[in-house]
Amino acid sequence: MTSLLEKMTLEEKIAQLIQLATFFYKGAESSGKITGPMEDMGINEDIIKNSGSVLGASGAAEVISIQKEHLKENRLGIPLLTMADIVHGYKTIFPVPLAIGCSWDTELAEKSAEIAALEASVSGVHVTFAPMVDLVRDPRWGRVMETTGEDPYLNSEFARAFVRGFQGPAFEKDTNCVAACVKHFAAYGAAEGGRDYNTVDMSERQLRETYLPAYKAALDEGCEMVMTAFNTVDGIPATGSRKLMRDLLREEWGFGGVMISDWGAVKELIPHGFAADEKEAAQRSLEAGVDIEMMTACYAKNLKMLVAEEKVKEELIDEAVLRILELKQKLGLFDNPYRGADEAGEEELVLSGKHREAAYKLAAKSCVLVKNNNVLPLKASQKAALIGPFAKSGDILGPWSWQGSKKDAVTMEAGIKRQVGDSQLFVSEGSGIETITEEQLEKAAQAAEKADVLILALGEASDMSGEAGCRADIQLPRAQLHLIEHMKKYNKPIVTVLFNGRPLDLHGVIEASDAVLEAWYPGTEGGAAAADILYGKVNPSGRLVMSFPYAAGQIPVYYNHFTTGRPKGAPDAQVRYVSQYLDIPNAPLLPFGFGLSYTTFSYSGFELSSQRLSLKESITASINVQNTGDRAGEEVVQFYVQDMVGEVVRPVKELKYFQKIELQPGETKQVTFTITEDQLRYHHQDLTFKSDPGTFTVYAGPNSRDTSDLVFELVM
């Protein structure tokens, strides 16, 4: 690629660093005269014909058409990269990543990414802006639905799985794969107040300990690209942070791939107050390490001038261009600029029956049963009223289901009708998402009066979550809470199914319901999966990967918190002068790792192979888990560790291992966790990463709250 770089003019090099939306390009279905804010960008024909990548092109025919037109006009025949947000499915939509995390099944997560990559690649996409691995502790933040939760170890395991799925073992040769782009670097999920694009301010030790591991895991798995975050970190916008990108990412971690800004993030250095104008924004971003500027023109309009003024070295531009060219070469675009794009393949593969089956399986394993007063599973002989704004709605795909169609989604009504006859089911909207009328209540009442059991399909519209979908009040909208109150009057069992993109404040729901199934945004097959759980065809096995707050005032609330000098509940604690709220509990309503089943499990025989762990040896913690119920079920056995005394304060628990096991009625399995010294390391005051000798507690159980514990010593 060096020889090609040497043939390029400075203008051609700079254009390679620009990513533009589809409608800028000849051959695009939406191509036309550029007007409004896009016209104000100042992008001319020379920049377009020499640009390096296109954002959001979709469909084999369109991508092939754009690429053909581009290659006709590009002097050196350099093909475009096509990139898009394929977050949890292309056309076949899987559950949102937060829900996928609740499956605790990395193999199925990997499969979902593999299928998404196959559908995307055959439709002409080369790079997906996924996985999003931002650790999140604040459910007010809209983009919580894109993450796999609040734990760094679990997030890292899913980060690796998604990268394996998207890129495959040899994506350079396999045109059914796409390059992955991990995002958002760094710590975007820690935005203050749970408000999108907001400030992130934390110690470097906290950053390294909790927020960086999942990005590192994705890169260790071979992830090809990294996207910058919108937020500041330590007072510096991430997109202009040399410390994050050059010092940490490239020098310390050795990342040699492509860095891309998020949409408009380079120009946003100006309102951040980090750059005076577009010229300075371009200089700061390039010097920090951003190779591709997405959808603003700071590079296009200013880098040539900055080179002429000797404020930017052309070598920096050359480095960025070379990384982009090398990615294109890896993808084989110089030999086959259309890569996997195949119209006939689209017809065969996209939204195929096999892919829908995989989406169903993951949706069924992602739903979490959080309450059941012996109401579920339902019997097909029971007359049921399905009531609520999600009764017939296809708005269950969730945000970032870019090519997904609500028309393709299996609704709750359709799913339940596969279980019962029309004469057994009475359906009513009950309310809107945020509005309710007397007529809706009257029709809901008519349905309720005919039924033996009431199924309430409630939740958030998809635009109430996702990017810029932040909410200060994370209860269900008042209209739906009013609907629940009205349904209680009929004194019939209430089963609530929730469709949402964040942990909710469930007050007004959980007390009024006899059973609650958290279905999240379950994707294309969501209604079928949820219905099969309600009627017992599937035994629920999902477990929460984020704590559900008792009230929004607790936020952030998470299981792996520090203790304090005055912990509530300590043996010698005072009644008042301890770390507590006067009006609510400290603990979340539902803890990390929690979830119910239609069977029961007992834990016994927890033991350590030794109470002493040395540097070069390992010990094991083992526990027996028995299915004490009358039907087969899956249990997620979780192991946590606590460092009792550290150079810096350590969390009260840290997840270190988990295993999902299936047990037949009466069956017992022993689950073993191998403990090694490296699992006990943490970042010290000087940021060295090492362990300390001393006492540790290991916990085992079905969730982060209900555990047994044993003690061992690490000896040096």
Residues annotated as catalytic are 262
Instruction: Give 439: exposed, middle or buried? Use CB within 10 Å, 0-12, 13-18, 19+.
Output: exposed
The contacts found for 298-305 with CB under 8 angstroms, 24 or more apart, are 298/266, 298/267, 299/14, 299/17, 299/18, 299/266, 300/14, 300/15, 300/18, 300/42, 300/43, 300/47, 301/42, 302/278, 303/14, 303/17, 304/10, 304/11, 304/14, 305/279
Q: How far apart are CA 353 and CA 348, in angstroms?
A: 10
Which residues contact residue 633 at a Cβ distance below 8 angstroms, ignoring those fewer than 6 apart? 539, 541, 597, 598, 599, 601, 627, 662, 663
**Angstrom distances, CA of residue 316 to CA of 243, 278, 302, 681:** 16, 18, 14, 37
Q: Which of 91, 121, 15 is nearest to 336 (CA)?
A: 121
3 state SS for 277-308: CHHHHHHHHHHHCCCEEECCCHHHHHHHHHHH
Q: How far apart are CA 340 and CA 345, in angstroms?
A: 9
DSSP string, 610-628: -SEEETT-EEEEEEEEEE-
Q: Which letter does DSSP use for residue 372 in this model?
A: E
Cβ(490)–Cβ(441) below 8 Å = no
Amino acid letter at 43?
I
As a whole number of Å, the end-to-end CA separation of the chain is: 50
Neighbours of 172 (CB within 10 A): 14
Q: How far apart are CA 129 and CA 163, in angstroms?
A: 11
DSSP string, 13-24: HHHHTEEEEGGG
Q: How far apart are CA 68 and CA 59, in angstroms?
A: 14
Q: Which of 58, 26, 231 is nearest to 134 (CA)?
A: 231
Which residues contact residue 587 at a Cβ distance below 8 angstroms, ignoring those fewer than 6 apart? 550, 705
Q: How far apart are CA 716 and CA 692, in angstroms?
A: 8
DSSP string, 265-276: TTGGGTTTTS-S
Cβ(81)–Cβ(327) below 8 Å = yes
Neighbours of 182 (CB within 10 A): 28
DSSP string, 629-661: SSS-EEEEEEEEEEESS-SS--BS-EEEEEEEE
395: its two tokens: 């708005």
